[in-house]
Amino acid sequence: MLNPYEKVLGGRDAQEIISGTPTKLGAIFNHFGPDGVERSPAPGKWSAREIFCHLADCEITFAFRLRQALAEENHVIQPFDQEKWATTYEAYDAPSALAVFSSIRRWNLALIRSRSQADQEKQVTHPERGTMTFRTIVETMAGHDLNHLQQLEGIASKNTSTI
């Protein structure tokens, strides 16, 4: 499967989704408040703060992948172990994670929107998923956003009003 979030994306416009995610994350963050971001859906699951940190890390990763896809022919994407990266999340706060995510997302959107059709079709290889395109990376970003927005909304809705 090229995009592991394809079902979550459900054919929706990827650029529209990734454009709206920073605003949605800001609203969710405001709903949580400073203490609420430490809630998790269940023991052993990431807290809301950790999900914000993961989103920031992933946006950094997507930024690199997008640029490598454009700069190199047949680039091979470097996978990462998100659980190992998460071991550092105690060092970060949710407001900083949201700021990093939002800033890099704006930067990534400027790049994505400026690319030609030919650039959108540039191929890269993911060692676990196979050959994909620049466009597939963007679609993966959108599905990843939706997945984690759903998780955050689920945490927020437990014992509180819906966002």
When the pLDDT of each residue in the chain is averaged and rounded to a whole number, the result is 92
pLDDT digits (tens, 9 = 90+) for 11-36: 899 999 999 999 999 999 999 988 89
Q: Tokens in use for 95?
A: 């407001």
Instruction: List all residues 6 or more positions away from 106 whose beta carbon is below 8 Å from its beta carbon.
Output: 22
Q: How much is the pLDDT for 2?
A: 72
Domains, the chain, with CATH or none: 6-157 (1.20.120.450)
With both helix axes pointing from N to C terminus, report the angle between 14-36 and 48-71 in degrees, rounded to the nearest 10: 150
The confidence band for 162, taking pLDDT boundaries of 50, 70 and 90, is: very low
The DSSP output letter for 126 is: E
Give the 3-state secondary structure of residue 58.
helix
In what order do the strands lie in the sheet containing 130-133? 75-76, 123-126, 130-133
Q: What is the pTM of this model?
A: 0.92
